[in-house]
């Protein structure tokens, strides 16, 4: 609808939760969508923005600022999906560098989510938004490696709980500039750079940042590597938190940016590759059905192997 519409709460609707009241008017739409729509401030009860748990009062005025619309993602069978593990609850994908995990807009079709939906139509609607398609966590477009996908909303919710409680242990492989000789742990409060969108900064060094997020990254050197004339290091990196660009930013702050990462100081003009060398390698978690510990792995991609050679074996 182009204009707001107003209702009066009927006597038999008194004491209904706001989400239940809205669901009566839009029975064909998912509860997940309606809850998100209410959370976005689209329902006004007696001139006050309504929360989904607010109770209706007979005779009260309810104004809908917009109309909830269930959007659907388009499947794209041309997107290759490299499955490295699958059971009745979960899928693990080895995502190539250069592919976004999911779209920002519903009309985008060149993402992992579009490819997953073509192969698994039942993933439609699973997750926090219509664009999620069961994908439990994102990795950057330029990062390759492991992406976990839930096959049902119940599994999605259970796994997301583990992520939110920092109980999923994620290991990455990173090729960085510099000679790293000892293991270490990096802890920062990261925030979006207000002057340079798409880049994270150390919030303790900036005055005008908003919503800083705690990030903890542990690393240990695996092998020294020579790339052309550059002295580099091949690292195992472990994170529990999942802040945007966490590994890329924190390694750069520590003085050893990821090779090929122009955004954080790791660019090399003569590098034999065109992306930053970061790979999501393993994830360890409690399987929501068996309640046993599970570790899944995504093998290193060919471009990694071409640079590292025998070191990847």
Tokens 């938004």 -> residue? 129
The highest-level CATH class for domain 169-276 is: alpha beta
At residue 129, the pLDDT reads 78
- Give the separation between CA 26 and CA 38, rounded to whole angstroms: 13
For tokens 């073509």, name the residue. Answer: 118
* Pairing of the two strands 278-286 and 144-150: parallel
First vs last C-alpha separation in the chain: 59
Q: 49-69 burial string, b = 16+ CB within 10 Å, else e?
A: ebebebebeeeeebebeeebe
264/285 Cα distance (integer angstroms): 30
pLDDT value at position 1?
A: 47
**Structure tokens, 119:** 């192969």
Q: Does the fold of domain 169-276 match that of domain 83-164?
A: yes
> How is residue 96 written in tokens?
């190539």
* Fold adopted by 5-64: 3.10.290
pTM exceeds 0.85, yes or no:
no
CA distances from 63 to 8, 38, 43, 74 (A): 9, 12, 6, 32
Q: What CATH fold (topology level) applies to the domain 83-164?
A: Pseudouridine synthase (3.30.2350)
Q: What is the pLDDT of residue 195?
A: 84
Instruction: pLDDT tens for the chain, 313 residues: list them.
Output: 457 888 999 988 989 999 999 988 887 677 777 888 899 899 999 889 989 899 999 999 999 988 887 677 899 999 999 999 999 999 999 999 999 999 987 788 999 999 999 999 999 989 887 788 999 999 999 999 999 999 999 999 999 999 999 999 999 999 999 999 999 999 999 998 888 888 999 988 887 888 889 999 999 999 998 887 888 999 999 998 889 999 999 999 999 999 989 889 877 655 556 789 999 999 999 999 999 999 999 999 888 887 777 665 4
Structure tokens at 171: 């290991």
Among candidate residues 50, 30, 32, the one with its CA nearest the CA of residue 41: 50
| 8 Å CB contact between 201 and 190 | yes
Q: How far apart are CA 137 and CA 237, in angstroms?
A: 17
Domain positions in the chain are: 5-64, 83-164, 169-276
Q: What is the dihedral of CA 209, 265, 240, 90, to 10 degrees?
A: 110
Question: Residue 120: its pLDDT value, please?
Answer: 96
Work out the angle between the directed axes of helices 18-25 and 31-39 (0-180°, nearest 10): 120
SS3 of 279, please?
strand
Q: Per this entry, what is the length of the chain?
A: 313
């Amino acid at each position: 609808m182009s204009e707001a519409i107003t209702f009066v709460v009927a006597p038999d609707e008194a004491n209904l939760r706001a989400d239940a009241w809205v669901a009566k008017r839009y029975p064909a739409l998912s509860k997940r969508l309606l809850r998100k729509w209410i959370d976005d401030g689209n329902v006004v009860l007696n001139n006050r923005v309504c929360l989904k748990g607010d109770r209706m009062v007979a005779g009260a005025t309810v104004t809908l600022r917009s109309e909830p619309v269930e959007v659907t993602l388009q499947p794209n069978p041309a997107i290759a999906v490299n499955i490295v593990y699958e059971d009745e609850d979960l899928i693990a994908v080895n995502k190539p560098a250069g592919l976004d995990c999911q779209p920002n807009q519903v009309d985008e079709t060149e993402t992992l989510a579009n490819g997953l939906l073509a192969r698994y139509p039942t993933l439609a609607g699973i997750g926090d938004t219509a664009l999620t398609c069961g994908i439990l966590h994102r990795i950057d477009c330029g990062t390759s490696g492991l992406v976990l996908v839930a096959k049902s909303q119940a599994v999605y919710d259970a796994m997301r709980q583990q992520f939110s409680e920092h109980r999923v242990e994620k290991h990455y492989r990173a090729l960085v500039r510099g000679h790293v000789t000892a293991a270490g742990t990096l802890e920062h409060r990261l925030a979006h750079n207000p002057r340079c969108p798409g880049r994270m900064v150390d919030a303790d060094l900036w005055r005008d940042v908003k919503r800083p997020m705690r990030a903890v990254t542990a690393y240990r050197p695996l092998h020294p590597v020579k790339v052309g004339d550059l002295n580099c290091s091949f690292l195992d990196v472990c994170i529990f938190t999942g802040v945007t660009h966490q590994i890329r930013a924190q390694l750069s702050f520590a003085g050893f940016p990821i090779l090929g990462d122009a955004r954080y100081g790791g660019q090399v003009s003569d590098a034999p590759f065109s992306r930053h060398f970061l790979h999501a390698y393993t994830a360890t978690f409690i399987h929501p059905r068996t309640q046993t510990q599970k570790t899944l792995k995504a093998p290193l991609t060919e471009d990694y192997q071409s640079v590292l050679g025998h070191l990847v074996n």
